[in-house]
Amino acid sequence: MKQVILITTFLSFFILLPGILMAGYFDSGCRYYMYRNYEKAREMFLKDAETRNHGDAYYFLGEIEKKEGDLEKSAEYFAKALDLPMTKKYRKLAYWNIIVLLEEKRDYSAMVVRCKEFYEKLSETSARSKVESLINKLLWTDNDHAKEKFNQGKQLAKKSRDKALDAYRDALSYDSGFLAAHFEIGMIYYNREQYSDALGYFRTIAERIPFYGEVNLLTGNIYYSKRYYREAAQYFDRAILYSFLSNKTESNIRMKRATCYYFTREYERAIEDLEFVRKHRKKSIQPLLLLSALQIKQGHYDDAIKNLQRAHRLDNNNNEVLFQLGSLYYRNKNEKYISYFNSLFKRYGQKKPEDTPAKYLKAFQLLAHARYESEQYKRVIAVTSWLPESSMDYDMRLIAAHSHYNLKEYQAAINNFEKISLNTDDSLTLCRAYARADFPNKAVTLLKSLYYNPSVRDKATKDPVLKKLVDEIENEKNESTEIPTVTEMKPDQPVNIREVPEVPLETVDPVEKDPGNSSEEKKEIDNGDEDITDAQNKQQSPE
C-alpha cells in the first residue's frame, strides 16, 4: 500500500510541475522587476509567456520596454496582453498605457478605438471622457473674437436661429477653422432638413476630426437620404468604429449600412450587419425582410421563404411580407401564393388604387387570373373593377369580360369585350352577349362575319338564343344568288368589334364603308344581286 501511495504522489508531482514552473517564472519575473533587474525580469516573463496563455507577463514586458525607452515595442507588448486573458487590474493599466502612448504619437484615431474598447469591456467612463475632451479641444479656437461671436450665437439660438446663423458665420470670418461654429451651422440646417446645406459643414469637420463619431453619423444619414449608398456606408463605418453606442443605436446604424451594402451588391457584408441587428432586435421584421431580399438576389429561395415566414409570424399583416411570400410561392409554382395575395388585396381593396405600389398591382393581376381559373367570377370582378385603367391590359379585360358574361352581366361583358380585339371564340361569346342583352342587330352583324367558319356555325346552331339568328342568316343566304366558298373567306381573322355597324339587318350595306372617310356616299342595295363574297371580304380588319 505504501508503494502505491508513493507512486501516486510521484505522478501527481509531475502533473503539477508545469503549473509550478509557470507560476515560478511569473513570480520570479515580478521579484526581479521589483528590484529593477529588468534584464532578468524580461527573461522570466518571456519564459512565462511561452509556457502559458496569459497576458500578465506581456503587461510587465511592456512596462520594462517603456521604462527603457522603446515605446514601439512597449505598445506591441501591451497590445498582446489585451488580446489574452489577464488580471483585471493589469488589463486596466495596459489600456491606459497604450492610450497614453498613442496620444503621444498623435495617433488619435487609434487612441479613440482603444478608449471605446476600454469603455465597452470594462465600463471605464474616464476613457469616454478622454475622447470627448479631445474632440472638444479640436473643435475649439484660440481666437477671442471668434469665441465671442460663437457665444453670442449660442444665446441667440434660443430665440432666433436665423440671427444665430449670422453670429456663427461672423465667428468663422475671424477663424475659418473654428469647427464648433461649423457644427452649430450644420445642425441648424440639418434640423430644418436642408441637408445639402448641412453636408458641407459636417464634411469639413469629418475631414479634420475623422474619429468624431456623431458627425460621421450625421453625414452618413444625409448621404443615405439622398441614396448615395456607397458614400453613406463609408461614414457609417466611421460612426460604428469610433462612437460610444448603445446596442439599440448601433443596430439602427447597422440596419442602414446593410441596406447600403445591398444596393452596392456587397451581400456578405450586409449579412454580417443583419445578423448583428437580428441579435439585438429579435422582434423586428426589417432585418428579416432585407435578409430575404439578399437571399433572393443570391438565388437562395428556400432560405428566403424561411426568413419571410419568421417575419410573418412576427407580423402577419405586414404588406411587404405578404407580397414577398406570395411572389416566391408563385415563382415556385406553389398555389400558396393565392392566400398571401388574397390577404394583401384585403388590405388594399378598400383604398384608392393610385395609393398602391405598382408591384402590388401586378400581384393583384395574378390573383385575378387565379380566381378566374377556379371560376370565382365574382371575386375576379372584385379585383378587375378595382384595378386602375393602366393595369387593365388585354388579359385583364378578357377575363373581366368572360367573368361578367358567366355572371349573366351581359352589358358589363360587352363593355369589356368591345375595348379589345378578339379571336373567333371570344367574338362568338360577344355575339352571345349581344343577343342576350337584346342587341339583335349587333349580334347578327357579328355572327355574319364569323358564320363561314364551320366551328362557329356549329356552336351557334347549338346555342338556343343564336339558333334564331342562324335561321335568319340561312334564309337570307338561300335568297342570295351566289354562295361564297369557304376558301374565299378568312374565318379566323379577328374582328374589331368597335367598328361593327349598328344598323338593322335589312339595311346592312353589302359593301363596307371606309370608317375613316365620313364623306363617302352610301351605296344603294341592288336587290340582292350584289356579290356577297366581295362585300364579306371587305370587312374591317382589327387594329
Number of Cβ within a 10 Å radius of residue 382: 16
| Domains identified in the chain, total number | 3
- What are the two backbone dihedrals, phi and then psi, of residue 535, each rounded to the nearest 5 degrees? -65, -40
Do the beta carbons of residue 280 and residue 248 sit within 8 Å?
A: yes
| E-assigned strand segments in 400-525 | none
pLDDT the model gives residue 482: 52
pLDDT the model gives residue 530: 39
One digit per residue, the tens of pLDDT, for the chain of length 543 reads 444 333 333 333 333 334 434 458 999 999 999 999 999 999 999 999 999 889 999 999 999 999 999 999 999 999 999 999 999 999 999 999 999 999 999 999 999 999 999 999 999 999 999 999 999 999 999 999 999 999 999 999 989 999 999 999 999 999 999 999 999 999 999 999 999 999 999 999 999 999 999 999 999 999 999 999 999 999 999 999 999 999 999 999 999 999 999 999 999 999 999 999 999 999 999 999 999 999 999 999 999 999 999 999 999 999 999 999 999 999 999 999 999 999 999 999 888 888 899 999 999 999 999 999 999 999 999 999 999 999 999 999 999 999 999 999 999 999 999 999 999 999 999 999 999 999 999 999 999 898 888 898 899 899 998 888 888 888 877 776 454 544 444 444 443 434 433 333 333 333 333 434 444 433 333 333 333 334 333 333 333
C-alpha cell at 353: 388604387
Query: Does residue 29 lie in a domain region?
Result: yes
DSSP letters spanning 372-403:
HHTT-HHHHHHHHTTS-GGG--HHHHHHHHHH
The domain of 26 spans 13-139
Sole residue written with cell 356549329? 458
C-alpha cell at 503: 344598323
Instruction: Write down the pTM of the prediction.
Output: 0.75
Query: Does residue 305 lie in a domain region?
Result: yes
Residue where a domain terminates, one of 111, 139, 167: 139
CA-to-CA distance for 45 and 24, rounded, in angstroms? 10
pLDDT the model gives residue 498: 40
C-alpha cell at 291: 435578409
Instruction: Select from 275, 239, 235 the least CA-distant residue to 255.
Output: 275
- What are the two backbone dihedrals, phi and then psi, of residue 524, each rounded to the nearest 5 degrees? -80, 145
Query: Does residue 270 lie in a domain region?
Result: no
Amino acid at 236: F
Do the beta carbons of residue 482 and residue 508 sit within 8 Å?
A: no
* Chain center to CA of 460: 54
Q: Are residues 18 and 133 in the same domain?
A: yes
pLDDT the model gives residue 238: 97
Query: Does residue 37 lie in a domain region?
Result: yes
Q: Are residues 344 and 454 in the same domain?
A: no
Dihedral angle over CA of 61, 67, 72, 78, nearest 10: 40
Residue where a domain terminates, one of 139, 157, 186: 139
The CATH number for 301's domain is 1.25.40.10
Query: Does residue 295 lie in a domain region?
Result: yes
Query: Does residue 422 lie in a domain region?
Result: no
Q: Are residues 344 and 449 in the same domain?
A: no
pLDDT the model gives residue 40: 95
pLDDT the model gives residue 244: 96
Residue where a domain terminates, one of 139, 168, 186: 139
C-alpha cell at 494: 379577328
Query: Does residue 489 lie in a domain region?
Result: yes
Query: Does residue 113 lie in a domain region?
Result: yes
* Chain center to CA of 431: 48
